[in-house]
Structure 1
Amino acid sequence: MEYQKLGSSDVSVSRITFGSWAAGGWMWGGTEQNDAVGAIHAAYDLGVTSIDTAPIYGMGLSEQIVGEAIKSLPRDKVQVLTKFGMRWDDSKGDFAMKTKNNDGQDVDVYKYASRDSIIKECEDSLKRLGTDYIDLYQQHWPDVTTPIAETMEAVQRLIEQGKVRAAGVSNYSVAQMEEAEKTIKLASNQVPYSMLRRDIEKDVVPYTQQHDLGILVYSPLQLGLLTGKMKPGQHFDASDLRSTNRLFKPEAVTAVNDFLNKLRPMAESKNATLGQLVLRWTLAQPGITVALVGARNPEQATQNAKAMDVQLSFEEVDFINKQLASLQLPG
């Protein structure tokens, strides 16, 4: 495994980080708690020491699962990355979405990051996680109803109290990062990025490189599409995020699979899966610190961690880039 510091903070993380969104069952349909705990332990045994979670994943369930998993691990060897600012138990702030909880009940979610709300959320997260500090505390989404300065002052206070080691943001634009950094030194920004979704390369990546911030990317396998295991016309339940995603329309899946088939011989020559090759390519991109990858069971977690065993030469990255450049996605 490789490890890297997040910006100028003293928080060092594993470049493959365990993403526990799926472990919460939220928007992915169900979770087996024992499998999720076993997955985190399997990942840890292979050097994946960092775990990313959030209260909204399963309305607290993901954090509880992470808390259960880290109970038997040395706390100072694990980095817990969680978030704040998505409230399902309050109706203040900026309406984000209608969704369902794991019991199938309708829930309204609000983006809210006022001072008092953050202090409460932090206490709730610490309880669920069974720890007395959070290594990286990230604002999940910007909240247009609260000044960024107020949000960041609250996080700064939590750092001073020893409850948080470093401050991060998620889904922030360059302008929002600039505003936040007037109040606090950010360690990182967590953003979506994959071979099929590269818009952050235009502005977010250059900004983070110039201002010494880490980038944690989520959905590097594009919700499983870049594993090569998706079939055109595959059925997803209405509650699954992929059911309405244009990249999962049959013609798009066909185009992506054709592209992946060009990479297959390279993966096979390295005794690697396509997913492992894609993760290694992702971490070879300028400015990318960490790839967040989810796993529902120990086998998937092991496969993700072993992506770090794959070595890519400059020529191989260049070959992949050329194939990517010729990929035409419908719409």
Structure 2
Amino acid sequence: MEYRKVSSSDHPEKPDLKLSVITFGAWAAGGWMWGGTERSEAVKAIRESYDAGVTSIDTAPIYGQGLSEEIVGEAIKDLPRDKVQILTKYGMRWDLAKGDLAMHSKNNAGEPIDVYKYAGRDSVILECENSLKRLGTDYIDLYQIHWPDHTTPIEETMEAVSQLIKEGKVRYAGVCNYDTALMREASQHIHLVSDQVPYSMVKRDIEAELVPYCIEHEKAILAYSPMERGLLTGKMKPGHQFAEDDHRASLYFFKDENLTRVNEFLSKIKPIADDKHVTLGQLVLKWTIEQPGITIALAGARNAEQARQNAAAADIVLDQGEIDLITQHLNALELVK
């Protein structure tokens, strides 16, 4: 496993933050919007990841309305805390009608909930306390706003996180789903180290502005959904039926025509995977973490076997010619929206 430095601290006595290039993404572990979860399997998957060198885990309160964080807390309770990096988030409230309405949804019990993007000062402080309890720890390594909240000044939000850093409850501040303008503004109020954004072979829009900005200003990019929610595994075929509460059913990526086109692309790069005795999914993950500006890739796993496979992707050796060939085939892929 390779570990990459996210950013140097602005406090000399505080150690740098290093993350495993494959970081465990715990959204699906919470079950919400993924058709449910099996708690014991999720715990095993996280522990198997750790044994394979994946020391970094990304979660959020909204994932299962606290369930994902509880599962992460259970999985790491017997592990040495200084050997694990906990990444969680704030700013998505399902228990408070304040801020920007993000979506109407249902919890794991099928009950309707309204989710709001809200990052007011008191809310951030409260969310941190709740996350620490669920995670069973006294500090969070990287605390990230989940989505921009246009009803709260960024200065107010970042001052709240600064207070948490001073109190030792948070080590580093990050953001998610921020564009370059929002990153610039947030950086005026806090030592910002990272931006977590969607990035995959079929979603590369950040390469235009965000990647150059982050490279220039030494900000880490944490790529989420690098497998595009299972699309790039090659296992999904036209006619695939999703569970009723699986959010992927409504995404254009999973239209039959796009499944066909993606699978044709994957068949072109499969010889590289076969030559290295790895799966298509592992090859996709390796390509992702080799792209300029991409610091780590988040990969979820439903069980221990998936966790082992994701971790092993970091050990694949790709030369520049192979990376360029994959990208060449990828550039010829066009999806229908």
TM range (shorter): over 0.9
After TM superposition, give the deviation of residue 85 of structure 1 in Å: 0.2
Corresponding residue number in structure 2 for 1:211: 217
AA partner of residue 19 (structure 1): G
Distance in structure 1 (CA, Å) of the matches to 2:147 and 2:244: 24
1:105 maps to 2:106:
no
CA RMSD of aligned residues (A): 0.7
Maintained 8 Å contact 1:84/1:121: yes
Distance in structure 1 (CA, Å) of the matches to 2:335 and 2:184: 33
One of 186, 197, 203 as aligned partner of 1:191? 197
Maintained 8 Å contact 1:94/1:143: yes
Distance in structure 1 (CA, Å) of the matches to 2:37 and 2:70: 13
1:182 maps to 2:188:
yes
After TM superposition, give the deviation of residue 237 of structure 1 in Å: 2.4
Runs of 4+ in 1 over 2 A off after TM superposition: none
After TM superposition, give the deviation of residue 204 of structure 1 in Å: 0.7
1:68 maps to 2:74:
yes
Distance in structure 2 (CA, Å) of the matches to 1:137 and 1:239: 28
Corresponding residue number in structure 1 for 2:3: 3
Corresponding residue number in structure 1 for 2:13: none
Per-residue deviation, residues 194-241 of structure 1 (Å, max 9, x unmatched): 000000001111111111110001100001010000011101123211
After TM superposition, give the deviation of residue 327 of structure 1 in Å: 1.1
After TM superposition, give the deviation of residue 71 of structure 1 in Å: 0.3
Corresponding residue number in structure 1 for 2:50: 44
One of 197, 200, 208 as aligned partner of 2:206? 200
Per-residue deviation, residues 279-321 of structure 1 (Å, max 9, x unmatched): 0000110000010000011000000000012111000001001
Corresponding residue number in structure 2 for 1:257: 263
Distance in structure 1 (CA, Å) of the matches to 2:171 and 2:83: 14
One of 141, 159, 169 as aligned partner of 2:165? 159
After TM superposition, give the deviation of residue 185 of structure 1 in Å: 1.1
Task: Note the 1:21-60 alignment, pairs <5 A.
Answer: 21-60=27-66
Per-residue deviation, residues 24-52 of structure 1 (Å, max 9, x unmatched): 00100111111111001100001000000
1:283 maps to 2:282:
no
Corresponding residue number in structure 1 for 2:12: none
Maintained 8 Å contact 1:53/1:81: yes
Distance in structure 1 (CA, Å) of the matches to 2:247 and 2:148: 21
After TM superposition, give the deviation of residue 138 of structure 1 in Å: 0.2
Corresponding residue number in structure 1 for 2:232: 226
Q: Which runs of 5+ in 2 are unaligned?
A: 10-15
Corresponding residue number in structure 1 for 2:26: 20
Distance in structure 1 (CA, Å) of the matches to 2:51 and 2:44: 11
After TM superposition, give the deviation of residue 5 of structure 1 in Å: 1.2
After TM superposition, give the deviation of residue 6 of structure 1 in Å: 1.0
Maintained 8 Å contact 1:8/1:212: no
AA partner of residue 23 (structure 1): A
Residue identity over aligned pairs, in percent, reads 65
Corresponding residue number in structure 1 for 2:133: 127
Distance in structure 2 (CA, Å) of the matches to 1:5 and 1:26: 31
Corresponding residue number in structure 2 for 1:268: 274
Task: Note the 1:290-309 alignment, pairs <5 A.
Answer: 290-309=296-315
Distance in structure 1 (CA, Å) of the matches to 2:245 and 2:108: 11
After TM superposition, give the deviation of residue 162 of structure 1 in Å: 0.3
One of 294, 314, 319 as aligned partner of 2:320? 314
Distance in structure 1 (CA, Å) of the matches to 2:334 and 2:189: 43
Q: TM-score, normalised by structure 2?
A: 0.97
Residue 167 of structure 1: SS of its match in structure 2?
Answer: strand
Distance in structure 1 (CA, Å) of the matches to 2:79 and 2:332: 46
Maintained 8 Å contact 2:59/2:88: yes
AA partner of residue 300 (structure 1): Q
One of 253, 261, 268 as aligned partner of 1:247? 253
AA partner of residue 44 (structure 2): G
Residue 150 of structure 2: SS of its match in structure 1?
Answer: coil
After TM superposition, give the deviation of residue 11 of structure 1 in Å: 1.1
AA partner of residue 326 (structure 1): A
Per-residue deviation, residues 67-115 of structure 1 (Å, max 9, x unmatched): 0001011000000000000000100111100111011000000000011
Residue 61 of structure 2: SS of its match in structure 1?
Answer: coil
After TM superposition, give the deviation of residue 8 of structure 1 in Å: 2.6
One of 59, 83, 94 as aligned partner of 1:77? 83
After TM superposition, give the deviation of residue 186 of structure 1 in Å: 0.6
Maintained 8 Å contact 1:227/1:275: yes
Residue 263 of structure 2: SS of its match in structure 1?
Answer: helix
Maintained 8 Å contact 2:35/2:244: no
